[in-house]
């Protein structure tokens, strides 16, 4: 649900998060809900401010109990350092807020203590190397240079699912032993859903990654090249799986007699895959 629009960016609140806020308010915990929302909003505003300052366009931000998710219009896979800076902004501001309140406020009441703990949780939890958490985006940016964007996304989204299962399992145990783990169960469920959504959007994101690389080549006029050799029946998507943010692919096509029968650029492979679908082979280009 959209509740605000700031500087052209839609701020939305996840339905489950909104329901939790309403339940806690009805239970007389309105101040706690306000602190949680404030901590999460500050976390996401930090991401947004750094992204805007770096020229990364964001269309919307959705608030979740463990932080939030920003929909980025400019794909950052081509410039992994941008994704790292934007991702780290949220945990850094959360940890900074916790430190400021802890060291500068001498008279700390229960609500101040809660605000400190909330920011510590948001900062530390989001540094885990699991998508869609901020640490997962940092890990993907680092791994994409070695594994490629597709494989890096699959690896970090899998870690995200495992983290979600551990969180929900811990919540079930705490609920059974001390009736205090309901929040962890909800966080685990939402985290698993968000990690699954990252994986389901992978095909679209990867295609956008390749198309943006083509536009970067057009804009700058040069890029480091990596050459590959392939048979005519090789799937185009298998070749593009080897794509990296830091270089441009060219494919040397070899016939049955090992003679060179053609050369295709990464742009031509992208256009072929866009036009003919995932079953396209090199010979179809």
**Euclidean distance between CA atoms 166 and 172, whole angstroms:** 10
Q: Is 163 helix (H, G, I), strand (E, B) or coil?
A: helix
* Annotated catalytic residue 44: yes
The answer for 8, left when phi > 0, alpha when psi is -120 to 50, beta otherwise, is left
Among candidate residues 44, 62, 79, 198, the one labeled active-site is: 44
Query: Which residues, at least 6 apart from 31, have a Cβ–Cβ distance to it below 8 Å?
Result: 111
Residues in the chain: 285
Nearest alpha-carbon partner for 114 in 35, 187, 42, 186: 35
Give the number of other Cβ atoms within 10 Å of residue 196's Cβ: 15
Residues sharing a CB contact under 8 Å with residue 135, sequence separation 6 or more, in sequence order: 87, 91, 126, 127, 128, 129
> What residues act catalytically?
44
């Amino acid at each position: 649900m959209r509740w605000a629009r700031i500087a052209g960016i839609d701020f939305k609140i996840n339905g489950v998060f909104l329901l939790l806020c309403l339940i806690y308010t009805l239970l007389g915990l309105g101040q706690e809900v306000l602190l949680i929302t404030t901590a999460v909003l500050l976390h996401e505003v930090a991401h947004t401010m750094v992204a805007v300052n770096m020229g990364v366009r964001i269309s919307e931000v959705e608030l979740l109990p463990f932080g939030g998710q920003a929909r980025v219009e400019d794909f950052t896979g081509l410039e992994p350092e941008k994704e790292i800076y934007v991702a780290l902004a949220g945990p850094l501001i959360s940890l900074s807020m916790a430190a400021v309140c802890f060291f500068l406020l001498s008279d700390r009441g229960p609500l101040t203590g809660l605000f400190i703990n909330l920011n510590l949780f948001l900062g530390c939890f989001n540094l885990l190397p699991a998508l869609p958490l901020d640490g997962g985006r940092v890990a993907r940016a680092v791994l994409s240079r070695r594994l490629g964007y597709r494989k890096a996304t699959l690896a970090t989204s899998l870690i995200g699912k495992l983290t979600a299962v551990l969180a929900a399992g811990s919540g079930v145990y705490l609920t059974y032993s001390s009736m205090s783990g309901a929040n962890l169960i909800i966080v685990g469920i939402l985290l698993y859903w968000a990690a699954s959504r990252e994986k389901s959007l992978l095909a679209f994101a990867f295609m956008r990654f390749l198309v943006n690389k083509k536009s970067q080549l057009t804009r700058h006029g040069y890029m480091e090249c990596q050459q590959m050799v392939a048979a005519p029946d090789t799937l185009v998507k298998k070749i593009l799986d080897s794509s990296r943010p830091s270089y441009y692919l060219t494919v040397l096509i070899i016939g049955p007699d090992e003679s060179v029968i053609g050369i295709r650029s990464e742009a031509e492979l992208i256009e072929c895959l866009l036009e003919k679908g995932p079953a396209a082979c090199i010979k179809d280009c």
